[in-house]
Amino acid sequence: MTLNCNGKLIDISSPKVMGILNITPDSFFHVGKYKNESDIILQVEKMLFEGATFIDVGAYSSRPGAIHISEDEELQRIVPIIELLVKHFPEIIISVDTFRSNVAKKTIKAGAAIINDISGGKMDTKMFTAIAELQVPYIIMHMLGTPQNMQQNPVYEDVTKEVISFFAAQIFKLHQLKINDIIIDVGFGFGKTIEHNYQLLKDLSLFKNLDAPILAGISRKSMLYKPLDTTPQLALNATTSANTIALLNGANILRVHDVKEAMEAIKIVEQLS
């Protein structure tokens, strides 16, 4: 259970935390909070200090109904930030949240180490060959549709079975290209109803049969705050509860806005063993 990140072997047999840095102006939680270099550096410094192993940087908003932006705009937003972070934190392990193969190539060249693809290779047919060329860890997420339409009417006969089948097919293609560092993300909130999300959370341990590390990205999402009739800003306690369930069901990486609380959840769950 190791990932080769820019030559560093990261052991994920013990769960790790991935801190979220959204540099989009319309993030569902940060809402364009990190607009200048000093704010970005301070936030990343905080997440690393609190225990984040990875920092996931995204410049394309993937919230439901998000506005589509061009590849050029995505690159203009993200490449300077990757270069900034690598300069200030030479040991940092950066994951880039993108579905575009060219963005993947240019951000890895700028110093990133992991590609996190919300489309699982579906929105850019060149992504798998790019990952094979780059030989970097690849997070493959399941999404029904696109960010623009995924929540309009998501329908499954058996959500767990269908998501597992999707991963099995995509992982087979990746292995054919000699890509081995694969992490799976069931895609909570990406083309799923609240009921679908909780079925996947309940069944998360079944995904261990795919023989790939599991990333859980639940932090402050609507599956948490809508049942409680609250907001993303008030969903930290719910996030910790859901992250704890994910850990108990086999999650290896927690992708979160709040690193300290996620680290505490990991430490408490580890007391059971």
Q: How confident is the model over 167-182, as pLDDT tens digits? A: 999 999 999 999 999 9
Question: Which has the closest alpha carbon to 120: 105, 103, 98?
Answer: 98
- CA torsion through residues 29, 34, 40, 45, sign: negative
By percentage, how much of the chain surpasses pLDDT 90? 84
Which pLDDT value is given to residue 13? 93
Residue 178 is among the residues annotated as catalytic for this protein: no
Catalytic residue among 122, 255, 260, 267: 255
Residue 256 phi/psi, 5° resolution?
A: -140, 160
Q: How far is CA 31 from the centre of its chain?
A: 18
Residue 196 has pLDDT above 60, yes or no: yes
Q: What is the mean pLDDT of residues 126-152?
A: 90
Which pLDDT value is given to residue 49? 98
Give the pTM: 0.94
pLDDT bracket for residue 146 (50, 70, 90): confident
Residue 193 has pLDDT above 50, yes or no: yes
> From CA 271, how far away is CA 201, in angstroms rounded?
21
Residue 255 is among the residues annotated as catalytic for this protein: yes
Which pLDDT value is given to residue 181? 97
Contact assessment for residue 129 and residue 177, using Cβ atoms and an 8 Å cutoff: yes
> From CA 256, how far away is CA 132, in angstroms rounded?
27
Residue 166 neighbours by CB distance under 10 Å = 20
DSSP-assigned beta bridge partners for residue 117 = 140
pLDDT bracket for residue 205 (50, 70, 90): very high
Q: What is the mean pLDDT of residues 142-166?
A: 87
pLDDT bracket for residue 35 (50, 70, 90): low
* Arithmetic mean of pLDDT over the chain: 93
Q: 168-203 burial string, b = 16+ CB within 10 Å, else e? A: eebbeebeeeebebbbbbbbbbbbbbeebbbbbbeb
Catalytic residue among 8, 77, 221, 226: 221
Which pLDDT value is given to residue 34? 58
Q: What is the mean pLDDT of residues 230-248?
A: 97
Six-digit token string for 45: 């410094």
